[in-house]
Structure formats: structure tokens, C-alpha cells
Amino acid sequence: MTRHLGAGQGALLRTELEMRQRRLDQILSAHQEGASRAEHAHALLAQDEDGARRHAMDREVDMARSDLEIAELGAISRALLRMNQGDYGLCADCGAEIPFDRLKAEPQAERCVPCESKHESQQQPAYAGRTL
Ligand SMILES: [Zn+2]
């Protein structure tokens, strides 16, 4: 743990990260089950033009959501890894200490606020406005 976080704060953030990781794991496996069920329904609806089209749209939305969840899960795994390495809570770009208040809201945050906004303005539109 980095020096600017106390032991209690570190423990709290680790618990928060592990909780989010478990929750996302559950959401993602539910999505996978949903997708195979949807595939089956799609086969049944093959003759129904309208149903098939509506279905394709549902699936797109579902996949976009999964992408975000996979990205968040990746960030959480990286945060837990950094925690084990002892450099958690330091900005990946400038090395500044990320304040505890920011980490409490986004325990997987990899950057300080100024670097995060710079980073986000370079991201694809689909990810804009999302704070990590
Ligand atoms: Zn920074």
C-alpha cells in the first residue's frame, strides 16, 4: 500500500474492489447464459422477420453493456494487482497520489483527475463521459 493511504483505508478499498469484481463476474456470466438462451430463441423466431430484427437490436445493446463491464473488470483486476505490488493509488501517468476520496468513489481509478480528463478526451466517443 502506498504511504498516503492508511491501513484501514487500504483494507476498505480492497474490500470494495473485491465486491465489485464479484458483482461484475456475476453480471457477465448471467449475460453469457442470456446470450445462449437468446440464440435459441432466435432460431425459433427465424421466420418472424420483425422479431428477428428486434432481437438483433437487443443483442447489440447487451453486447455494448458487456464491453463496458469487461473494461471495468479489467480495471479492477489491475487495481488489485497494483495493490499487491504496493503501487496502488498512484497516478499511472504522472505518479501523483490519488486522493482517498477519489479512490473511495472509484477504487479502480488509475489516474489523478487532471490526467483522467486528458486521457478521456483521447478516448473513443463510446467511452466519453465515463469516469474510471
Ligand atoms: Zn496524474
Checking if the pLDDT of 126 tops 80, the result is no
Tell me the pTM. Answer: 0.70
Q: 126: CA distance to ligand 1 center in Å?
A: 23
- Give the CA angle between residues 102, 108, 110 to the nearest 5°: 80
Question: What do you get for the CA distance between the two ends of the chain, in Å?
Answer: 20
Residue 58 phi, psi (nearest 5): -55, -40
Q: Residue 82: which CATH number?
A: 1.20.120.910
> What cell does 99 get?
486522493
In a domain, 1, yes or no: no
In a domain, 36, yes or no: yes
Return the amino acid letter for 8. Answer: G
Q: 23: CA distance to ligand 1 center in Å?
A: 28
Specify the number of domains making up the chain.
1
3-state secondary structure of 97: strand
In a domain, 132, yes or no: no
pLDDT tens column, 71-112: 999 999 999 999 999 999 999 999 999 999 999 999 999 999
Q: 7: CA distance to ligand 1 center in Å?
A: 23
In a domain, 2, yes or no: no
Beta bridge partners of 42: none
Domain span holding position 59: 7-127
Q: 89: CA distance to ligand 1 center in Å?
A: 11
